[in-house]
Structure 1
Amino acid sequence: MRRLPLTLLAAGLLASGIASAVTTTIPTTAVKTAEQLRDRALHDDTAYQVTASLTTEVGARLAGSEADRRAVDWAVAKFKELGYDKVYTEPVTYPLWVRRSERAAIVAPFPQPLALTALGYSPATPKGGLRAEVVRFDSLDALKAADPAAIKGKIVYVDYHMERAKDGHGYGMGSAVRVAGPVLAAEKGAAGYLLRSAGTDAHERAPHTGVTGFRDPAKAIPAAALSNPDADQLTRVLAYGKPVTLKLDLDCGIVGEYTGANVIGEITGRRHPEQVVAIGGHLDSWDLGTGAIDDGAGVAIAMAAGKLIHDLPQRPDRTIRVIAFANEEMGLWGGRAYAEKHAGEVAKFQLGTESDFGAGPIWRMSASVKPEARDAIGQIAKVLQPLGVAYDAGRPGGGGSDLSQMHAKGMAALSLTQDGTKYFDWHHTPNDTLDKIDPAELAQNVAVYAAFSYMAAQANGDFGSAPGAFAKDGAGE
């Protein structure tokens, strides 16, 4: 074999991407521009106006509903109104679940109605409703350990109290009770399933909806969440030690398939248009509120950040891609469809993350990048520090809910953690409305997203995206 000179060999390796151990840095001019973007964003109300537009003109956006269809049209029009260079949609197909009505009551020993809401992928109760005795468990582990004979034919009630936390970590178990609990109860022969809402509000008779883990309608049982005051009431009734009978009447279920869309807007890069910084939120919401914090705010944060970059005198070197994902709420359908479609392009993704934790101020940043890009992340952290954002260098970044799917394919990712202290008071309830958003806190989010996105787009070098690059990353969202 003919030997190549070392300089030519090295150049060839770099060109082919085999040798990538080059330190990534962000030019001083880009840092200064990012600081200007950051400061400008704090006085810009675009994100608030976008959230107000979505929640007022469209409102609740249950995946597959007529409002969901209108939301797609709204997003296309809004991207164009904000000046995005390229706007397009990509189809996303998923099961179509509908909610029509829901009622419940204690029949005995103390008859009274209960406030509750059906959970996603729950089937309907039999015609005339389901009447059965209740059996209570205080945790998912207790349900796992239970004898099926004690459950068969009964309504399982899991009375788990979710913890309030700035980083929202209590939702991990709360969502497990909601997602895995109904499946487990069905496997043990239960006739129905109730849980104390996965939320931190104590005084509102506003139940929190959310998805279950049911995927096969033939194996599903009626499942619903009680508001926290009603869960307290049911627990008190059970404490009398008498058999408690409930009547559950749910009219809901899967009625076929639906094809929605991810809506995408781009600010085209002038030097490397094929390389992208990916940001976004999910366009759908549950049907109880107007989807302001979950996740109208996330879509608006990303749209507004992109617009600020668009309005600079010169386009960024790489493309800023904003994605409004379809049907996150019922199982990351938009995120999974996007990752499947774009997995082969993962090396072209410079860096990405999604906003899907409300509109509270961002207080922590973490990253999953190649070691040679850590200095660049440090530069980003320094620009974000005046906004109150601390960099946790020992914590991985997950990319947010939908973009976690691209991260799993190998996309370098950030996690930008918002203050979620109050988030689960309103999450998945009728109280998820625009009044819960503080415009100044929302603007802080935009400042973070605009600054980091621009710096990533201008970096000399990449952040390590490659197929399977973060396969051992334990980051979770």
Structure 2
Amino acid sequence: MRGSMLAVTAGLWMGAALGVANAAPRETRIPEPAMQTAAQLRQTALESDLGYRVIESLTTEVGPRLPGSEADARAVAWAEKKFRELGYDKVWLEPVTFPKWERRSESAQVLGANAQPLKITALGGSPAGTVEAEVVRFPDLASLEAAADGSLAGKIAFVDYEMQRARDGSGYGPGSRVRSRGPSTAIGKGAIGFLMRSAGTDSHRNPHTGITRFDEGLTPVPSAALSVPDAQQLSRLLALGPQRVRLAIDAGWNGTATSHNVIGEITGSKAAGRGKPQEVVVIGGHLDSWDLGTGAVDDGAGIGITMAAGALIGQLPKPPARTVRVIAFANEEQGLHGAKAYAEKYAKDIARHQIGAESDFGAGRIYAFATSAPPHAKAAEARIAQALAPLGIEHTPGKGGPGPDIGPLVERGLTWANLRQDGTDYFDLHHTPDDTFDKIDPKAIAQNVAAYSVFAYLAAAAEGDFGSAPKAPAPEAAK
């Protein structure tokens, strides 16, 4: 009898245990006191110019920050010092090593009866070289891809694709594919050089740079972007008849360099029963920039916004339960090198990374918010959206995606948040000499800082999780 009773008791216990294991996760909630604190934090941030001053400091004291350059090293030292000045509890560096590309000089001219200079910039990754050849124009990447093999032998390919302006930046995908895929495609058709209309929406005589890649097994050729007016000019000249262009680039890869991810933390509460300082909410931007401007909107703005947001949270009388971690990522521009290094280092700690958001789309106002949180955290997402609404931010569940540097973490299981900025004029400035501090609107930056402060604080104060869990990243070949 006793044995039967023990068996029944054991069965009931096992059933209860399985029931707990299979139960849906407890709903994540944000307590009312945290909402009240967030409202105060939001107002403090709107009245602060801290983000604006951090951007000014970076772009003035360091200027352009090409990965691997002397200025890149100075930017790392600047970021470490700035985190400490802003009162972060913990600040450290993590090394990131990558191939080093250098720009030295670049020029282009139309030759012959219509001789005239063209404003160009070498694409990141372009080799050095000088070529003189007839130019063949293509209206888009698809038409270049459709060209017959060998049809560009001894010629310069010119893709004259006009990027479209959009609030959400959706026109950049087709434009950037011309830059990333165009040179290799042209080489495959026999071209000895590559030109493209800049992936931009401005009408200034400022070409837009950006990284390109060459397929394995191909011999790279000089590759450059024309300013939009110069691309239009070249197109008009080609309508008159064949044109020869001289393209001269002195640039190329030069060994490797080591930079650093710079990380600052506002430590979460250590109060018994409510503190979870070992768990982190991640925000950040990338510290590097291209070399033509001073990297104000890309991505000095993201650095200033997120550094200031973390600092304002650190000034609260009581910290949230979780730690707020701000990351200034290394070398985003040439291949997400800092982001990939961070994701690799912390792959086993993804569950400790509750949720992450990145500011890397300029300095425009934030207009929408969403996350990839699972159903049990949707109520908490809605509460964050409620606190963001007074800033003019709409809750758009199911829309958007992670920022580029957050992407490698998302592939490993991180839950992302997206605070979408108005990018209507972002690609007027992106990767050009016009990306300078005078383009920064202090009121728009204050709104961004308020949004990131509210988001990070409430995510860190939430009771329950946002669903981050480790998973294997997709194989490179499948991407």
Task: Give TM-score scaled by structure 2 length.
Answer: 0.93
Amino acid at match of 1:261: H
Aligned partner of 1:264 in structure 2 is: 263
Shift of 1:217: 9.0
Change beyond 3 A, Cα 1:186–1:405 = same
Change beyond 3 A, Cα 1:246–1:233 = same
Amino acid at match of 1:468: K
Aligned partner of 2:251 in structure 1 is: 252
- C-alpha distance in structure 1 between counterparts of 2:345 and 2:32, whole Å: 36
Amino acid at match of 1:214: F
Amino acid at match of 1:178: R
Contact 2:168/2:424 (<8 A) preserved: yes
Contact 1:368/1:470 (<8 A) preserved: no
2:122 pairs, out of 96, 118, 124, with 118
For residues 22-421 of structure 1, the aligned pairs below 5 Å read: 22-125=26-129, 129-202=130-203, 204-214=204-214, 219-240=219-240, 242-270=241-269, 271-395=275-399, 397-421=400-424
Contact 2:187/2:218 (<8 A) preserved: no
Aligned partner of 2:17 in structure 1 is: 9
- C-alpha distance in structure 2 between counterparts of 1:355 and 1:297, whole Å: 8
Task: Give TM-score scaled by structure 1 length.
Answer: 0.94
- C-alpha distance in structure 1 between counterparts of 2:215 and 2:140, whole Å: 23
Shift of 1:367: 1.2
Amino acid at match of 1:92: V
1:461 correspondence with 2:464: yes
Render the CA deviation track for 1:246-298: whole Å, top value 9, x for unaligned: 10110000011111110000011121111110000000000000000000010
Change beyond 3 A, Cα 1:362–1:325 = same
Aligned partner of 1:424 in structure 2 is: 427
Render the CA deviation track for 1:63-103: whole Å, top value 9, x for unaligned: 00000000000000000000101101111111100000001
Secondary structure in structure 2 of the residue aligned to 1:323: strand
Secondary structure in structure 2 of the residue aligned to 1:252: strand
- C-alpha distance in structure 2 between counterparts of 1:84 and 1:140, whole Å: 47
Render the CA deviation track for 1:416-447: whole Å, top value 9, x for unaligned: 11011111111100000011010000000001
Shift of 1:450: 0.3
Aligned partner of 2:4 in structure 1 is: none
Shift of 1:10: 6.3
Secondary structure in structure 1 of the residue aligned to 2:252: strand
Change beyond 3 A, Cα 1:257–1:351 = same
Change beyond 3 A, Cα 1:72–1:217 = farther
Amino acid at match of 1:353: A
Secondary structure in structure 2 of the residue aligned to 1:304: helix
Shift of 1:219: 2.9
- C-alpha distance in structure 2 between counterparts of 1:403 and 1:344, whole Å: 16
Shift of 1:188: 2.2
Secondary structure in structure 1 of the residue aligned to 2:34: helix
Secondary structure in structure 2 of the residue aligned to 1:257: strand
Contact 1:410/1:466 (<8 A) preserved: yes
Secondary structure in structure 2 of the residue aligned to 1:239: helix
Amino acid at match of 1:296: G
Shift of 1:8: 6.7
- C-alpha distance in structure 2 between counterparts of 1:214 and 1:268, whole Å: 44
User: Which stretches in structure 2 are left out of the alignment for 5+ residues?
Assistant: 1-6, 270-274
Shift of 1:214: 2.8
Contact 2:92/2:264 (<8 A) preserved: yes
Query: Greater Rg, structure 1 or structure 2?
Result: 2
Render the CA deviation track for 1:188-216: whole Å, top value 9, x for unaligned: 221111100011001x1110000102375
What is the count of residue pairs matched by the alignment? 462
Identity %: 56
Shift of 1:154: 1.1
Contact 2:64/2:295 (<8 A) preserved: yes
Secondary structure in structure 2 of the residue aligned to 1:328: coil
User: Which stretches in structure 1 are left out of the alignment for 5+ residues?
Assistant: none
Q: Give the CA RMSD over aligned residues.
A: 1.8
Contact 2:263/2:328 (<8 A) preserved: yes
Amino acid at match of 2:364: G
Shift of 1:405: 1.2
Aligned partner of 1:438 in structure 2 is: 441
